[in-house]
Amino acid sequence: MAAHLSALIAVAGLPFGHIVGPLVVYLIKAHESEFVAEHARASLNYQITVSIVGIVGIIAAVGVMLGFIAGHAGRHVSEPGAGLTFGVFWIAIMMAILLLLLFSLIFIIAGTVAASQGRPYTYPFAIRFLR
């Protein structure tokens, strides 16, 4: 359970805490129990995957924003659609971030419940960095 719940350390403000928590559990407890090692690897793989998706998403969002700014250079803000397009873009980005966070929380809770019941758990879309 600690391997999954420790991913929530990032909520407390620790940068990359969502990776550090499961990594610490894996390094300390993996040799004691294959069950704990399996859950810690699953949580760590998922958190690394989410980090990569987040970084790629941020780079894409900044690229699109810079493209938008470059495409509207020299235009006046009051021109039809200039502010609307930019606003819709940022609303879409914020919604995507909120959905990613919500689904991550749901998957973390599902992993925690599975671990507490002694069942294995596989995150839906995690790249298996550790096997």
User: Which residues lie closer than 8 Å to 83 by C-beta, 6 or more apart?
Assistant: 77
CA 113 to chain centre: 19
pLDDT digits (tens, 9 = 90+) for 34-57: 999 999 999 999 999 988 988 888
Kindly report the pTM of this predicted structure.
0.81
pLDDT value of residue 26: 93
In the chain, where the domains are located: 2-116
DSSP 119: -
pLDDT tens track for 72-99: 666 665 666 656 666 777 788 888 888 9
- Determine the pLDDT at residue 83: 61
CA distances from 7 to 21, 44, 51, 131 (A): 6, 8, 12, 19
